[in-house]
Amino acid sequence: MKTSLGQHAILRQDLRINPRLYQAMDLLYMPLLDLQQHLKQELMANPFLELLEPEEDEEVPATLAEKREASEPADRQEINWEDILLSGFDDGDWRHGPTEEREFAEPVSVQAPDLSGHLRDQLQLLELTDRQRLLAEEFMGNIGGDGYLSATLEELVTATNALQEEFAAERDAEPAQEPYTLAEAATLLGVMQELDPPGVAARDLRECLMLQLKDKGEAGSLAYRLLDEAYDDLIAHRWSDLAKRLGLDTGEVQAAADEIAKLDPKPGLRYSSADGDYIIPDLIVEKIDGKYRVFLNDTNLPRLRLSRAYQEVARDKKKFVGENREFITQRLNSAQWMIQAIEQRRQTMLKVMNFIVDRQHDFFEKGIEHLKPLTLREVAEVINMHESTVSRVTNEKFVQTPRGVLPLKFFFSSALSTTTGEDASARAIKAQIQKLVGDEDPQDPLTDQQIVQKLREKGVRIARRTVAKYRDQLGILSARMRKRV
C-alpha cells in the first residue's frame, strides 16, 4: 500500500454550542440558593463586576459621592487601578485595599446527635464490661438509620470473634479472651432493645411494635396479643377471623389495630442526621385586587453591575497591549454577558409562571380538583421557546402561592378525556379519588369499579385499572382492606 501526504476540501455541517450558551442553560437550571452562590463566586472572580446595593441609585448625587469618598480609608482612595489591571489583578486584595486587615470567624454548625451518637451516649451510662462493650460496638455498626438491627445474632458473634482473632494475629499471640457465644449476644440484644427510642435494635417490624408496646407498659394488652399471636391475620385485616379466634367483638379487634397503627414503624428516623430540607421559593404568586400577580423572589440575590472604576481605566486601550488587552477585553465581555444572562433568566421565569397562572386560574380559585392538564410543549409554544428551556426553568424550582409552596412541576400533568370534550388533569383525578374514598362509608367502602362509575357520573372517562394505579400511588388500600365493622 502506497502512502502519500495531500490536502483536500470537505464540505460538512457541524452543530457547535458556544460555551456561553452552556453557561446560560446552567443559570436557567440553577435553583435560587445555587444561583446566589454562583453569583457570589463570579463577583469575586471578575473585577469588572460589582455589587449594586438595593438602596443605591444609578445616578449618585455629587454630595453623596463626596461623603462616601471622605469616609473611605486613605489606602482605599489611593488604589492604582491601572497597575492592578496590568498585573492581572494579583496586586494584593484589590477589592479591600492592599493593607486592609480583615477578621474571619469560622461558622460553627450545631447539629443534634444522630441515632448512633444517641445510643452510644446511653451505653456510656450502663455498667458494661469491656467484653460486653466490644460486642456492643458490633451491634452499633449493624443498626441502620431506621433503628433496625440488620444482622442476625450468629453473624454478630462470628464477626466479633473474627475481629478478636485478627487483632491477636497482628501481635502473634493468642486471643485475649474466650470466643463470644450466642447466649451472650442474646443477653446484650435485650440490653440494646431497652435503649431509647423504644423499638430500636428490633429485627423486624413485628418485634419493633411489640417493644414499643412493652415500653408503654402494655405487654398484656390486646394489641400486644395480636402482634404476638396473630400477626399474619392482623396485617391482612381479617377482623372477623381474629374476633372468632380470640372470642372478642370485631370492634374491639379493630380498636386494638388502630392503637398499633399509631406506633412508629421506623423509630430511628427521629434521630436522623440528615439536615432538614428548607425550601426557598424562586417565585411568588399573590392575589392583589382580585388578580393573581407573579413576582420573582430575588430580594437576596446579588445585583450586579459593571464597575465604573474599571470601565474608566479599560476605556484607554492605548495603555494595554498584547495579553493585557486580551485579558481585559475577555473579562469585560464576560461581565456584560453575565448581567444579560441573569436578566434573561428573570424574564424567562416570569413568562413561564405567568402562563401557568393564566392556565391554572381555576386551580388557584377552587383547588386541586380543578387543575388542568398541561405539558412543557404547550408552554414552550406560547412563550416562543424550546421545550428543553421550559424544562430547565421548571426543574427544581418552587413557587409560593395562596395554596402553599409548590414545585413548578406540580402544574404539569397528563390529560384524561371527559364527556364534555375537555381534558382533565391526572392530578385532579387523583384528588377526586382521594375525596371519594375520604367520604365513603367505612362499613361499605367503594370498590375500584364503583369509583369508576362515580367519576363517569362527573364526566370523567377512566378505566378501572387506571383507578387502581392511582389508588396505589396515593397509598390507599383496596376496598377489602379498608372495610370496617
Is 62 a residue whose pLDDT tops 60? no
Check residue 164 and give its pLDDT: 79
Q: Tell me the one-letter amino acid at 468.
A: A
Is 74 a residue whose pLDDT tops 80? no
Check residue 186 and give its pLDDT: 94
Q: DSSP assignment of 154-207, as one string?
A: HHHHHHHHHHHHHHHHHTTS--SSPPP-HHHHHHHHHHHTTSSSTTTTBSSHHH
List all residues 6 or more positions away from 462 whose beta carbon is below 8 Å from its beta carbon.
416, 429, 452, 455, 456
Instruction: Give per-residue pLDDT as tens, 131-167.
Output: 888 899 889 889 998 999 998 999 999 988 888 788 7
Q: How far is CA 169 from CA 158, 173, 178, in A?
A: 16, 6, 15
* Residues 303, 36: Cα–Cα separation, whole Å: 10
Structure-model confidence comparison of residues 284 and 423, the more confident one: 284
Q: Are 352 and 379 in contact (CB under 8 A)?
A: yes
All cell numbers assigned to 234: 392482623
Check residue 313 and give its pLDDT: 66
* Residues 30, 36: Cα–Cα separation, whole Å: 9
Structure-model confidence comparison of residues 334 and 223, the more confident one: 223
Model confidence at 175, pLDDT cuts 50, 70, 90, reads low
In terms of C-beta density within 10 A (0-12 exposed, 13-18 middle, 19 or more buried), how is residue 454 classed?
middle
CATH 1.10.10.60 fits 415-485, yes or no: yes
Model confidence at 419, pLDDT cuts 50, 70, 90, reads low
* Residues 214, 295: Cα–Cα separation, whole Å: 54
- Over residues 5-13, the mean pLDDT reads 75
Alpha-carbon Rg for the chain, nearest whole angstrom, is 34
- Over residues 345-354, the mean pLDDT reads 89
Residue whose C-alpha is closest to residue 475's, from 426, 413, 433, 441: 433
All cell numbers assigned to 379: 408552554
* Residues 176, 167: Cα–Cα separation, whole Å: 9
CA–chain centroid gap for 63, Å, is 49
Is 97 a residue whose pLDDT tops 90? no
pTM over cut 0.85: no
* Residues 167, 260: Cα–Cα separation, whole Å: 45
List the alpha helices (DSSP H) in 360-398.
361-366, 376-383, 387-394
Q: Are 69 and 61 in contact (CB under 8 A)?
A: no
* Residues 155, 143: Cα–Cα separation, whole Å: 13
101: left (phi over 0), alpha (psi -120 to 50) or beta: beta
Check residue 307 and give its pLDDT: 74
Is 57 a residue whose pLDDT tops 50? no
List all residues 6 or more positions away from 395 whose beta carbon is below 8 Å from its beta carbon.
29, 408, 409
Is 310 a residue whose pLDDT tops 60? yes
Mean pLDDT rounded to a whole number for the chain: 78
Structure-model confidence comparison of residues 132 and 275, the more confident one: 132
Check residue 92 and give its pLDDT: 45
Q: Are 272 and 145 in contact (CB under 8 A)?
A: yes
Q: Tell me the one-letter amino acid at 211.
A: L
Residue whose C-alpha is closest to residue 140's, from 119, 159, 163: 119
Structure-model confidence comparison of residues 266 and 20, the more confident one: 266
Pairing status of strand 304-306 against strand 49-51: antiparallel
- Over residues 260-265, the mean pLDDT reads 92
* Residues 386, 168: Cα–Cα separation, whole Å: 67
Model confidence at 94, pLDDT cuts 50, 70, 90, reads very low
* Residues 438, 404: Cα–Cα separation, whole Å: 22
Is 275 a residue whose pLDDT tops 60? no
* Residues 221, 50: Cα–Cα separation, whole Å: 70
Coil, strand or helix: which one is 25?
Answer: helix
Proportion of the chain above pLDDT 90, given as a percent: 20
Is 56 a residue whose pLDDT tops 60? no
Structure-model confidence comparison of residues 453 and 99, the more confident one: 453
Model confidence at 14, pLDDT cuts 50, 70, 90, reads low
Pairing status of strand 404-407 against strand 398-401: antiparallel
CATH 1.10.10 fits 115-201, yes or no: yes
- Over residues 44-49, the mean pLDDT reads 75
The single-letter DSSP state of residue 149 is B
Coil, strand or helix: which one is 460?
Answer: strand
Instruction: Give per-residue pLDDT as tens, 184-229.
Output: 999 999 999 999 999 999 999 999 999 999 999 999 899 999 999 9
Residue 302 CB neighbour total at 10 angstroms: 18
- Are the folds of 115-201 and 415-485 the same? yes
Residue whose C-alpha is closest to residue 304's, from 60, 55, 49: 49
What does the domain layout of the chain look like in residue ranges? 19-50+80-89+279-412, 115-201, 204-270, 415-485
List the alpha helices (DSSP H) in 274-386.
308-315, 323-359, 361-366, 376-383
- Over residues 404-414, the mean pLDDT reads 86
Check residue 176 and give its pLDDT: 61
Check residue 63 and give its pLDDT: 40
* Residues 458, 441: Cα–Cα separation, whole Å: 20
